[in-house]
Chains A and B, each alone.
Chain A
Amino acid sequence: MIVFKIQKKLQSASGEMLLNLDFEIKENEFVTLYGSSGSGKTTTLRILSGLSEADKGIITINNETWLDTDKKIQLPPQKRKIAYVFQDYALFPNMSVRENLSYALEKGQDKTIIEELLTLMELEQLQHQKPAQLSGGQKQRVALARALVRQPDILLLDEPLSAVDHEMRVKLQDYIIQVHRKYKLTTILVSHDIAEIYKMSDKVIVLENGKISKQGTPEQVFSSRLVSGKFQFVGEILKIEKENFIYIVVVLIGNNVVKIIAMEEEIRDLNIGNKVLIASKAFNPIITKID
């Protein structure tokens, strides 16, 4: 359990802002911080990792105190069992993939973790290549693997997927979910992509001007109303076709393109590129095994 109660004055574009947060995250939970830029998401991750100082507050991880400004306790970043992955991969350009990972090993640490991560992240074929020879998605996989070498308890992801294309993004999401489960991590992601948040998160914390404006499951936070339908997906409108008084809305859900019949009244405030919730009764879909 992470208990995070923090205050910090920040200088933002619109003047001074007080970051004032109080939240708890359960062990092995996948939580997303969501909010406009300048709302305090990155600062929150930096304070948790120890890279930024808070003016006041406490952070405890499973009853271990990492920060208590009243008692002048502040655990240095290297003593916090945290992995931090940014949008910028920050790989060493002169080292191979394997060397980048090995460099992260602690003195005396068992080296088998390197093999395990190379296999898990499907990097064996690339292990002797230098970062310059890799694609953006491959570099991000290496950055993620390197962050996990020291077997952290907490994984912080600050928009790690925003620079990669859609297909690679979906794959990287799967890798992240896989390591989150395998290493029983508590993961905190900063993301703006609602489809991504639905796919990955147990819980969403929405920040506005340094304060929590809303928190809950993705459904509770992002559905303007709760629909009982159990067959629900978030997608993006690719195309709207008109057939007489019926409209066929083409929606991208993950990697799949689906079509939905809609009426004129439903189409009125829909445009190409809009994020939409698709809901149906669980009684309708037909399920068949694919060989």
Chain B
Amino acid sequence: MNLLEGKISEIKTEGSLSLVKVMVQNCPITSIVIDTPESAGYLAIGNAVKILFKETEVVLAKAFSGAISLQNKLDCSVHSFEKGKLLCKIILNFQNTTIASVITRNAFDQLDIQENDLVQAMIKTNEISLATHD
């Protein structure tokens, strides 16, 4: 599980859903949750939250251009990787921490990933969980 820490900067609510924007230093990350500021006390502008997402939900792009619906794009560099027959795990430097992505070996080979490569890590809005200490 990848974990980043940030502060809530914006909350848009419709019915019982909220789109929550969290600033991780200067990088915005959005999450959609079935909660509202009324139902969940931690949903307040300025609150510190943890951002959680699974390694297997992290999409990688290299020298990407064109339009894409994915909203969360993290500029990273490749720290290291482990290769399996089917899957590969790539450790990425992001800001002053690391995150991991697990993609198929085929995708890894097609992207021709090498150490220190600049890549974008992308995560769908609905794959991001928010957590808080109680």
Q: Residues on A close to B: CB < 8 A?
A: 220, 223-230, 243-246, 261-263, 265-266, 279, 281-284
Kindly list chain A residues whose C-beta atoms are within 8 Å of the C-beta of B50: 225
Beyond A223-B134, A225-B134, A244-B84, list 13 extra A-B contacts (CB 8 Å): A224-B134, A227-B129, A227-B130, A228-B31, A228-B40, A246-B87, A246-B102, A261-B56, A263-B89, A281-B127, A281-B129, A283-B32, A283-B127
Complex Cα spacing A88 to B100, Å? 52
Residues of B in contact with A, size category: 20 to 34
Complex Cα spacing A244 to B130, Å? 29
A227 near B52: Cβ-Cβ < 8 Å? yes
B87 near A227: Cβ-Cβ < 8 Å? no
Give the residue name and chain of the B residue nearest to A219 (CB): B134
Complex Cα spacing A142 to B1, Å? 47
Quote the shortest CB–CB distance from A197 to chain B (angstroms).
17
The answer to whether B126 has its CB under 8 Å from any CB of chain A is: yes
A228 near B35: Cβ-Cβ < 8 Å? yes
The answer to whether B107 has its CB under 8 Å from any CB of chain A is: no
Complex Cα spacing A224 to B134, Å? 7
A230 near B34: Cβ-Cβ < 8 Å? yes
B129 near A226: Cβ-Cβ < 8 Å? no
The answer to whether B108 has its CB under 8 Å from any CB of chain A is: no
B130 near A228: Cβ-Cβ < 8 Å? yes
| B28-75 at interface with A (beta carbon < 8 Å) | 31-35, 40, 42, 50, 52, 54-56
Complex Cα spacing A241 to B134, Å? 32
Complex Cα spacing A282 to B31, Å? 12
Kindly list chain B residues whose C-beta atoms are within 8 Å of the C-beta of A229: 129
Kindly list chain A residues whose C-beta atoms are within 8 Å of the C-beta of B55: 263
Kindly list chain A residues whose C-beta atoms are within 8 Å of the C-beta of B14: none
The answer to whether B132 has its CB under 8 Å from any CB of chain A is: yes
Complex Cα spacing A220 to B87, Å? 37
B 1-44 binary contact with A (CB < 8 Å = 1; else 0): 10000000000000000000000000000011111000010100
B131 near A226: Cβ-Cβ < 8 Å? yes
Of the candidates B56, B82, B87, B129, the one whose C-beta lies within 8 Å of that of A228 is B129
Of the candidates B52, B82, B127, B134, the one whose C-beta lies within 8 Å of that of A245 is B82
Kindly list chain A residues whose C-beta atoms are within 8 Å of the C-beta of B85: 244
Complex Cα spacing A62 to B130, Å? 40
Complex Cα spacing A243 to B134, Å? 35
Name the residue among A223, A228, A230, A283 with the largest chain B CB count within 10 angstroms: A228
Given contacts A263-B55, A266-B1, A281-B126, contact A226 B132 (CB under 8 A): yes
Quote the shortest CB–CB distance from A239 to chain B (angstroms).
20
B 67-105 binary contact with A (CB < 8 Å = 1; else 0): 000000000000000101101010000000000101000
Kindly list chain B residues whose C-beta atoms are within 8 Å of the C-beta of A263: 1, 55, 89, 100, 102
Name the residue among A224, A225, A230 with the largest chain B CB count within 10 angstroms: A225
B131 near A228: Cβ-Cβ < 8 Å? yes
Kindly list chain B residues whose C-beta atoms are within 8 Å of the C-beta of A245: 82, 84, 87, 89
Quote the shortest CB–CB distance from A245 to chain B (angstroms).
5
B126 near A225: Cβ-Cβ < 8 Å? no
Quote the shortest CB–CB distance from B122 to chain A (angstroms).
16
The 4 closest A-B CB pairs, nearest first, are A283-B126, A244-B84, A228-B130, A228-B33
